[in-house]
Amino acid sequence: VPFRGNLLVFYAAVLTFAEACAGVGLFVSSLVYTQQQAFLGAFAVLLPFALLSGFATPVENMPWWLQFVTTINPLAHMLRLMQGLFLKGASLASLAQDMVKLIEIALCTTVAAVLLFSRKAA
């Protein structure tokens, strides 16, 4: 598959997605007390994220409440970004909405994880 998009936008999207995933993982792990609970919590979060990302079924075919759930799913935004970059050669302006959502998810989950962890540690 030829890459049609901007390489800098691609790297920015990958780094933002990685931070969003790390934030989700830190948030889940800050809610539990043991490593086993963290594994189960991660599985409980990641499986629905994968199924509701639009990879297997289009988001447009999901019920409205599941479509709303996909707005907090970093994988759904990343898939749209990669489709735009690889297949359409989309610009940053056309991908801005998904980039902003990924940044919001990364910030919210990371801040929430830090706050929860600092309360546990105190």
Q: What is the pLDDT of residues 33-42, one digit of tens each?
A: 999 999 999 9
Q: Residues with Cβ < 8 Å from 18, sequence gap 6 or more?
A: none
Query: Rounded mean pLDDT of the chain?
Result: 93
Q: How many helices (H) and strands (E) does the chain have?
A: 5, 0
Q: Residues with Cβ < 8 Å from 89, sequence gap 6 or more?
A: 4, 5
Helix (H, G, I), strand (E, B) or coil at 116: helix
In a domain, 2, yes or no: no
Contact 80, 98 (CB under 8 A): yes
Parent domain of 54: 7-121
Distance between CA 5 and CA 89 in Å, rounded?
A: 4
Whether residue 91 has pLDDT greater than 90 = no
Question: For the chain, how many structural domains are there in total?
Answer: 1
